[in-house]
Amino acid sequence: MRDSYIRSAFSIEHSASAWHQALSSLPNSHPLQSWPWGDFKSRWGWSATPLLLRIHDEPAGEPPLAAALVLKRSIPRTRFSILYVPKGPILDYNNAPLRRVVLAQLEQVARQDKAVFVKIDPDVISAWGQDDDRKSPIGAKFVEELEAREWRFSQDQVQYRNTVELDLERDEEVILASMKRKTRYNIRLASRKGVLVRKGNPADFASIAEKYTETAARDGFTIRPVEYYLDAWQTMYDAGMAQPFIADFEGDILGAVIVVHYGGRALYMYGASTGKERKRMPNHVLQWEAIRWAKASGCKVYDFWGAPDEFEETDPLWGVWRFKAGFNGQVIRHIGAWDYPARPFFYWVYTVVIPKYLNFIRSRGENQTTT
């Protein structure tokens, strides 16, 4: 079988249903590798190319070896581009020969597409646990292979490297009982204090976006234009991949979450809250109802979508982590995003020189403003 991988190559898939079927046949498929996500990103400056790795002359109907939804963005006023495989490629990472073939194929795609670099950030586990105490031999080996092929750990980690996962293949009572006592208390308190949680729909998206903007301003993180989120939520909702939940008190929206589900996994990808009625603990009951819905929908894992890189109070995600930690999920550490510099000189210019120049320009502007 190993020799047959040599005869494998990426080919473009033109059918949305065939792409979904292909991802369904592979382990650990991800919504950011789905057809609807590629369709959405194509309206925001990227072009999406769904690539399937198959063995030449294999019988029709055989499942692919790997899949990679490759996003491409042209660099203005140049003939070059950058490539990005969000949360991919998708394959069996236990298969060492296959890993190497997929990397070689992506390197070839980067060279053919005149890309400065191609970025991947697959869900390959490096370790489990807050203290990084249980290492993954597969993750360590894959990192060695990346480094040997001159891939570089990316300074631009687009997605969260670490996350928290909750096992949904347990009875609901067991899941609730496993949470920290204070979290269980807050979930019940919210219900006693009159907080109601309902399923949302597209009519709620504008209100959620307003609350999301308020959350970003309060917590100090940067967000994209509101239209970006409205497009993303509508696209995934129409594809049957997204479900909003709204926490309400006496007709006033206190918070909302949007859960994206795909391939047996539910992800808490978007959350918004207000400063109102915080003592009623709306965010706790919101998460609990989203978890209950994910389990009832057949999902096996609830992914809280993000945890600190370093579990220290100085980490920007420390406050978020304290909330998520109460649900007592398992900390999952990933290898993160890696870049293959198909054109090393231009990669250096793009990742080092241009950012330094832009920071210099910003600093001059700030100095001129304050003097």
- For residue range 104-131, list pLDDT tens digits in order: 999 999 999 999 999 999 999 999 999 8
Q: What's 164-333's CATH class?
A: alpha beta
Using an 8 Å Cβ cutoff, are 329 and 301 in contact? no
Kindly tell me if the per-residue pLDDT of 368 is higher than 80.
no
pLDDT at position 360 is 67
Residue with tokens 């900390």: 331
pLDDT digits (tens, 9 = 90+) for 33-90: 999 999 999 999 999 999 999 987 666 678 999 999 999 999 999 999 999 999 999 9
Using an 8 Å Cβ cutoff, are 338 and 154 in contact? yes
CB atoms within 10 A of CB 240: 10
Query: How far is the C-alpha of 10 from the C-alpha of 159, rounded, in Å?
Result: 25
Using an 8 Å Cβ cutoff, are 304 and 266 in contact? no
Q: How confident is the model at residue 140 (pLDDT cuts 50, 70, 90)?
A: very high
Start-to-end Cα distance in the chain = 69
Angle between helices 137-148 and 96-112 (to 10 degrees): 40
Mean pLDDT along residues 334-349: 97
Kindly tell me if the per-residue pLDDT of 251 is higher than 90.
no
Print the SS3 string covering 47-94: EEEEEEEEECCCCCCCCCCEEEEEEEEECCCCCCEEEEECCCCEECCC
Non-local CB neighbours of 296 within 8 Å, separated by 6+ positions: none
- The CATH architecture to which 2-125+135-159+335-370 belongs is 3-Layer(aba) Sandwich (3.40)
Task: Please state the length of the chain.
Answer: 371
**CATH topology identical between 2-125+135-159+335-370 and 164-333:** yes
Cα torsion through 251, 257, 211, 201, rounded to 10: -60
**How many Cα atoms within 13 Å fall on the side-chain side of residue 189?**
14
pLDDT above 70 as % of the chain: 94
Domains of the chain, by residue range, sit at: 2-125+135-159+335-370, 164-333
Both tokens of 181, joined, read 């006592």
